[in-house]
Amino acid sequence: MTDATSSQPAKAWSGRFSEPVSDLVKRYTASVTFDQRMAAQDIRGSLAHAKMLARQGIIGASDFADIERGMAQIAGEIERGEFVWSLDDEDVHLNIEKRLTALVGDAGKRLHTGRSRNDQVATDIRLWLRDAIDQTLELIGDFQRNLLDIAEQHADTPMPGFTHLQVAQPVTFGHHLMAYYEMSRRDAERFADCRKRVNRLPLGSAALAGTSYPIDREFVAAELGFDEVCYNSLDAVSDRDFAIEFCAAAALLMTHLSRLSEELILWMSPRVGFIDLADRFCTGSSIMPQKKNPDVPELVRGKTGRTNGNLIALLTLMKGQPLAYNKDNQEDKEPLYDTADTVIDTLRIYADMITGIKVKADNMRGALSQGFATATDLADYLVKQGLPFRDAHEAVALAVRAAEQRGCDLPQFTLDELRAAMAEVPGAAERAGPEIFAVLTIEGSLASRNHVGGTAPDQVRAAILRARKQLG
């Protein structure tokens, strides 16, 4: 590859240098190929800055009018795909500024008064991320509402609850899905909380020390909808905590969706057969005509690794940086953009995919006959009859072992057989009465967990109602 020098016009900062930047360095250091997606935010920030400059008498009213006019034309060109992005102008800011100057002359050159690209990019990325967070929160809400709909439909549908992937106790499918609602509720809280720290204005910090012009940062903050300004100029231009925090919240959200994806994949397997997914979320095989593969949840599971990696990339990016701004920070954008894109796309498709779940309730109920799901209910019954819990635990364990040897479930014992199975534990057999079989039913087990957070269908419906109120 030839390391030729450029014959293009001088850079905005080129007066200090005796030779132009080489094409190789130009390509290596340019960010316009990816940061052009912040063009709308860059224009918004520039207009607010220009309005403040005019209000403070730093530039004239006619300059501000020219800047407004030029920016409106540039925004239209970008929206229509007519804007010509140049690698020679390095980033989104210089591309827009150069075009503005071509359109309105000296007024365009005055726009950069009192600011640096350091505080400009820090402002743009916060504006962009704030928009991304708002979109993420809206999509989390869509996902939650669809999740609540299917949970409500299946508030009474029994299925095995698992620990260690072994049948543990009966729950309802609605209760199981509500666990993911709670995860997503925490996710929404984290993004909303992150937004508070994103929504602080760095503009006015200039390169690192502030500016000698009589600027009004609070006015700009109000114009752009920021809650407050960043109060230290050094920190303002070099801080990327907000991006790391967003990526951490995104990694947790994707981890939650990855867990749900893993369950959908398992449940869809013919060996489990709890659900089916709508065809639009699946693909076939190029060689096996019978296959229906859950590609979307598998990709969600895989893309979670990307969001985790992006978080680590940003943490590593920042760990050795001295104050204030360093060129390293140009590398913050691609991981951040990728994380936001991945989360937004995943939430959008997941909200739809939830509506495409077909529940196979008979298979769920049938699976409860494997694994002695109501054994704990039997132990609880004995405790309520006065047997110490540890003795009740041992007695039921003996009954389970006897049932395994006979190849049957606990409710299939006669009362005498059940008593005989527990006879080694003093006091267990005589405490077992005919009503014991009522507690061994699936419905009896579910109904007995009738407290806040429990799996009783009435509690599941109450949780769904509470969630709908939370969502407004």
SS3 214: coil
**CA distances from residue 404 to 166, 370, 373 in whole angstroms, order as listed:** 15, 10, 13
Q: 237 near 172, Cβ under 8 Å?
A: no
Which of 127, 150, 143, 227 lies closest to 188, judged by CA?
143
Q: 208 near 233, Cβ under 8 Å?
A: yes
Neighbouring-strand partners of residue 22 = 5
- How many angstroms from the chain centroid is the CA of residue 154? 26
Long-range Cβ pairs for the range 367-370 (8 Å, 24+): 367/159, 367/160, 367/167, 367/272, 367/274, 368/158, 368/159, 368/160, 368/167, 368/170, 368/442, 369/409, 370/160, 370/167
Cis before 12? omega within 30:
no
Burial of 346 by CB count in 10 Å (0-12 exposed, 13-18 middle, 19+ buried)? Answer: buried
Residues acting as catalytic residues = 164, 285
| Rounded Cα distance, 237 and 123, in Å | 9
Instruction: For residue 165, give every residue at least 6 positions away whose Cβ sits within 8 Å of its Cβ, in sequence order, or none.
Output: none
Q: 140 near 155, Cβ under 8 Å?
A: no
Residue type, 245: E
Dig out the tokens for 293 from the structure.
């593969």
State residue 204 phi and psi, 5-degree precision.
110, -15
**CA distances from residue 263 to 104, 177, 184, 356 in whole angstroms, order as listed:** 59, 11, 16, 15
